[in-house]
Structure 1
């Protein structure tokens, strides 16, 4: 049996050898990226609302209780309970909250309470110099995609596309998040087997558009938010990436339109693989005889790419979801419907 020293040397050599097979842009991005520290019980973590507001103090109290149940200590941002129209405070104040959390040495990670809309509005107000100098996990999904992508482009360290602080945090979500962020594990994500009273289960199934395996850095999130950043300075390079996308309440033709935009902008032609997660409520109201289904739209766009691609992974606007480390090296198996994290997301 290999001793531990030999084992780690072998793993390091294998990782270095694999890195040399990646596109030069991917190699540069991975070598420049730093890892935030892992979480420990008792760590203080920041609570921010960079997009929509929460107007019920009872709901915010439940969020703080959830953070304590994780063994962490919540620290509310100065403007956490603010409201400005449909936003959680002015753009300047929401950005100031995020800047303050990254400048505070006592704060070890930052949780977004919820999504909504508004993260893209604060990007010009963020103190990128301070953020880059203080790598800390940013956790959230939905509109938080704008921050994940901007951090990947501007900050150069890992963030976590996973449940927001106000999410339900069931066992499936919590155990995956804890393994990734507390234990520095490299999990293999696969959909849980549904407990249905059917001869052939339907829940948790995946659809493969092009079989095979692919490796690359994980980049993506909410499809609508990603498309809204096209043409800005806050979008990372997708060369050789594993693109993961999801959405909510979007009709099939709008998913078609957004994927067409990604294709015309050259993004889809760059990626090494694609995973489409959950699209909650993504169907036109009423009968749509002769219209395309969501799966047909995805097949039209993804199958011709000739890279591994599948639909149905457990991330998106669902109760339980994977925690995906944005910018971290991963491997997908489009035939099996799995995502394997290949390196620790934290130090």
Structure 2
């Protein structure tokens, strides 16, 4: 008997207290027909909350720099209560980190939320988040890496679009600022295409892209960090992959581990449902010592090419110096021939 059946049976027996024993109950995962919720647009000069839902920061200067970045962008910075807490490698207990996020979503004076950093631990707080509050107070949430857990859980549980991009403590270079201003302030329907080759280069080595399978596909954008995404397999915190454009990135993973995670996506049926595929950066994803290793090219040939869907690699996504800010849950058109993605809708209400 599964949990849902058990709770239903208990209710029929009059033990209704069991049905309310957790603070925030999970709803069913997002389906392809679920209504998408768009966050409210960030008002000029508004307030941005800083939260740390994953690993702890060892340096107070990270918070100072995050505040300075937000203020330099033209907004007021508000640091959540428990950002400097610590439990092991985590930025406080699970409850403290969840409380900060729930509080920022519920606070009407906060217009957007930036995650301070990634690391590990965001998945631990997913059962503690108040998805009803998030649904009733949709506001932009920005971050990447371990924040992948939040993006997918929030999309699955509420249908709300959130943003995969630099954390508050990331290097906010001119590329990131331009992405932020075009998407958040000018509300452009972004065209995501890698930068041209640098001055003095004969070919575009730094921003090289490669078509795996040509074609054009349209679907809702889901994904993020491959390791974090596959760790959610079997839970209620993954959105429906049906007809989606899947984007992935990672760092520090040997090819055999990438292969294992791609195998997980295949075995769970996710890869057979998607309409298109984009892979970004995979820094330090090199084979270790031993008898040999599959290359990333071979891994994608094994898992992606047989799907026959439009796909390309090398997009400016992930743990790289310059990365796109991508709206998770938004409708995009992927053009694998030209290695681009284009937003097909406004991502703000």
1:305 aligns with 2:346: no
Aligned to 1:112: 115
* Secondary structure class of the residue paired with 2:315: coil
Residue of 138, 141, 160 corresponding to 2:141:
138
The gaps in structure 1 that reach 5 residues or longer are 1-24
In terms of mean alpha carbon deviation, does 157-166 or 35-44 score higher? 35-44
1:291 aligns with 2:293: yes
Residue of 251, 261, 265 corresponding to 1:248:
251
* Secondary structure class of the residue paired with 1:45: strand
In terms of mean alpha carbon deviation, does 179-188 or 84-93 score higher? 179-188
Aligned positions of 1:235-274 closer than 5 A:
235-274=238-277
Aligned to 2:325: 323
Aligned to 1:77: 80
* 8 A contact 2:114–2:143 mirrored in 1: yes
Displacement after TM superposition at 1:59 (Å): 1.9
Whole-Å separation in 2 of the counterparts to 1:131 and 1:187: 25
Aligned to 1:230: 233
Displacement after TM superposition at 1:289 (Å): 7.3
* 8 A contact 1:112–1:138 mirrored in 2: yes
The gaps in structure 2 that reach 5 residues or longer are 1-30
Aligned positions of 1:196-235 closer than 5 A:
197-235=200-238
Aligned to 1:341: 343
Aligned to 1:4: none
Aligned to 1:189: 192
Q: Could you state the TM-score of these two structures normalised by the residue count of structure 2? A: 0.89
Whole-Å separation in 2 of the counterparts to 1:290 and 1:235: 33
Whole-Å separation in 2 of the counterparts to 1:199 and 1:169: 28
Q: Could you state the TM-score of these two structures normalised by the residue count of structure 1? A: 0.89
* 8 A contact 1:167–1:319 mirrored in 2: no
* 8 A contact 2:131–2:158 mirrored in 1: yes
Q: How many residues align?
A: 319
Displacement after TM superposition at 1:285 (Å): 3.5
CA deviation digits over 1:119-175, x for unaligned, max 9? 100011111111111001110000000000001011211100011011111111221
Displacement after TM superposition at 1:259 (Å): 0.4
